[in-house]
Amino acid sequence: MAAAPSTALALSADANRALEEQASRERAAAMRARLSSTAVPAADADVRVALRSIGEPITLFGEGPAERRNRLRALVAEGAELTATVATEDTMAVEPAEDDEAGEEVDVGRETFYTEGTETLKRARIDLCEDSIARAAKRLANERELTRESVQSAREEVASRCAALAMEASELADARPVAACSLRETPAGDAMLATASWGGSLKLWRLSDNKCLGSTEVCEDRLTGVDLHPSATVRGEDTPSAEGIVATSAADGVARLHKCEDGSLLRELPGHTGRIGRLKFNPCNGRWLATAGFDATWRLWDCDTGEELLLQEGHSRSVYTVAWHGDGALLCSAGFDCSPRLWDVRSGRCLAALHGHSQKVLGADFSPNGYHLATAGADNTCRLWDIRRLAAPVPMGEPTPSAAQLYTIPAHMTLVSACLFEPSSGSALATFAFDGCAKLWSTRTLRPLANLQGHASRVSDGAVGAGMRVLVTASHDRTFKVWR
């Protein structure tokens, strides 16, 4: 009996599609395996030679060294043969390329370079050096006279004042959020406060009765920082008047100097190509002003002439704040690259890059003891550093070991906008944050001393008086509050 002929059944369209997809996946896997085992030159100059040898364009529009090398690897995996004169990564070490596009692989982030300064900058650095030496000698002489008992007594007094602080006054400072504030205490025991707002207005206040001494419309753009000159003061009882100079920074990229008496513009300091963050007078004599810019630079100005003495690069992103050492020789700049930098303004050298913050750094301050530095930022922490532990000066891009970091204070639940040491002894540290609070910490035990709550919105800045006799907070709720 003859067998019935066999009949092959046709596959459905879905089955054929599945087979094609499976075959495509197998071909892709085989190609990946060939690519991983294919040796091609590592140096970009050799990659170009190899592409030319197999008749391919040496570069395509928008193609960089990495894309060019991957294209060569794919061509070789598909069957193209390299000539024997082309060295691969297995047979030849990488040599530096000489043409412009090959230079894209050169890491210039670690390069230290210096530019020739002006004669004015040289004289300013000499004056800074002389003034800082005198201030350091005075500081050390005062420390030698201190006893353990006097230091402990001062700590306890400051701690008790911190615990007793209460809101004394709340003033509506402007129709828009208050961005920054600055405090100067007078020899007579009074204090003057300057506030800068997003509405572009600068106001001066006497804190003994919270009387507004004057208001000035600085610009149409937002004000971002304010600092009173070290010699600024308030005089008079019945008809008080402010004396001295106050500096403001704005989002229009211009820093300005004003007379405290009437708020009139004394001098404009243009130069930054982006908005300006905070700014600070040098504590020696207030002749020099440092500004932090969103153009990734900080700049040094001569307040007497308005001349830009120094344009300092070094940060990879926006610089938000600057802080002067009490002796006037060192400066800390910090910003959105998460790594505050220490600078010796006398020589122009970058002493260290402090790595530890995981997000942008918004506040910095030196302790009166001369060797502690506090930084605060968007990672909700305040970090303490001991600058005595820093090694020798390093190139701009070199990371500094974290040995200089003493402690990380998990200060707030939100962004920390500023941090300030108590200015007479440094035995307390104040942090200000977007959770609407200001907190006080012991710098010896790092335990919280007080939590000042009262603002209805973010606390953008603050100011601290000697001995913690007075503390001021400025907020986006358009008010500043005085705590005593």
In tens, the pLDDT along 77-128 reads 777 776 644 544 444 333 434 444 333 444 444 566 667 788 999 999 999 9
**What pLDDT was estimated at residue 6?**
55
- Whether residue 194 has pLDDT greater than 80: yes
- Whether residue 160 has pLDDT greater than 90: yes
Instruction: Tell me which CATH code domain 119-392+400-483 carries.
Output: 2.130.10.10
**What pLDDT was estimated at residue 106?**
41
Nearest to 315 by CA among 114, 471, 109: 109
CA quadruple 430, 432, 433, 437: dihedral positive or negative? positive
- Whether residue 325 has pLDDT greater than 90: yes
When the pLDDT of each residue in the chain is averaged and rounded to a whole number, the result is 86
Domain limits, the chain: 24-78, 119-392+400-483
The amino acid at 357: H
- As a whole number, mean pLDDT of residues 225-239 equals 86
Q: Residues 6 or more apart from 460 whose CB is under 8 A from it?
A: 177, 178, 179, 180, 417, 418, 432, 474, 475, 476
Residue 191: exposed, middle, or buried by beta-carbon count in 10 A (0-12, 13-18, 19+)? Answer: buried
Q: What is the DSSP string of 7-41?
A: -PPPPPHHHHHHHHHHHHHHHHHHHHHHHHH----
**What pLDDT was estimated at residue 101?**
37
Give yes or no for a contact between 94 and 49, defined as CB atoms under 8 angstroms apart.
Answer: no
What span, in angstroms and rounded, lies between the C-alpha atoms of 199 and 193? 18
Cβ burial 385-400 (10 Å sphere, 16+ → b, else e): bebeebeeebebeeeb
The amino acid at 133: I
The amino acid at 290: A
- As a whole number, mean pLDDT of residues 255-273 equals 93
- Whether residue 442 has pLDDT greater than 60: yes
Q: How confident is the model at residue 320 (pLDDT cuts 50, 70, 90)?
A: very high
> Which of 90-99, 126-135, 367-376, 402-411 has the weakest average pLDDT?
90-99
